A and B are shown apart, each in its own frame.
Chain A
């Protein structure tokens, strides 16, 4: 069945450094890839997304890249700040079904 693998499960970086989270999906029909941020005790919230017809998208300090051939997509956070500390989930959306398959999450800790 459909599967999304996410690595690493935990990531600690020094404030100001960059963080990279990687995901791999299995279903080649997937064409929408959102990233959600979940702060402790809060709901997941969309931070950035990318469609399959785009290779890269950037929004201030965050960017997402997509390699359709390899079925890989990644989240890049530059100049990390303590408020970036959270759990990040990637997901792949299966075409015409509108449902997400979520990755297992990455707990990011930004050390001051």
Chain B
């Protein structure tokens, strides 16, 4: 398996523009997570899905952010309109629950470095 795939790897855009980040989870994984990483705030969980259904979006900063998972192999994170403070590295991760005691390693994608000018 190629692992979690994210695109684009780098995105530079101007304030006010719409940005769409894409993620393909590892095949067979039931959970998908979107994180944002900045120096000031570390790794923040934005939203996560189970079987394509959003479970917890309490980390989404505001209405400018939205995420979808139309099928098991694809998810998008959209920012509209983008602002300079959205500049960060955005990671997608996927995992699957094993039976028995809880253990759920999350596998991270390479990330998308977003710069909003």
In the complex, what's the smallest C-beta–C-beta distance from B105 to chain A, in angstroms? 5
Question: Which residues of B, 20-67, contact A by the 8 Å Cβ criterion?
Answer: 31, 33, 42-43, 45, 48, 50, 55-56
Within the complex, what minimum Cβ distance (angstroms) separates A112 from chain B? 25
Contact status of A100 and B106, CB under 8 A, knowing A43-B111, A44-B43, A44-B91: yes
Q: A40 to nearest B CB, angstroms?
A: 12
The A contact surface, by secondary structure, is loop
A18 within 8 A of B: no
Query: In the complex, what's the smallest C-beta–C-beta distance from B94 to chain A, in angstroms?
Result: 11
Q: What number of residue pairs across chains A and B have CB atoms under 8 A from each other? A: 57
Most chain B CB within a 10 A radius of its CB, from A31, A46, A97, A99 = A99
B80 at the interface (CB under 8 A from A): no
CB <8 Å contact, A98 and B50: yes
From B31, B43, B48, B101, give the contact of A102 (CB < 8 A): B43
B-side residues, CB < 8 A to A, are: 31, 33, 42-43, 45, 48, 50, 55-56, 91, 95, 97, 101-106, 108-111
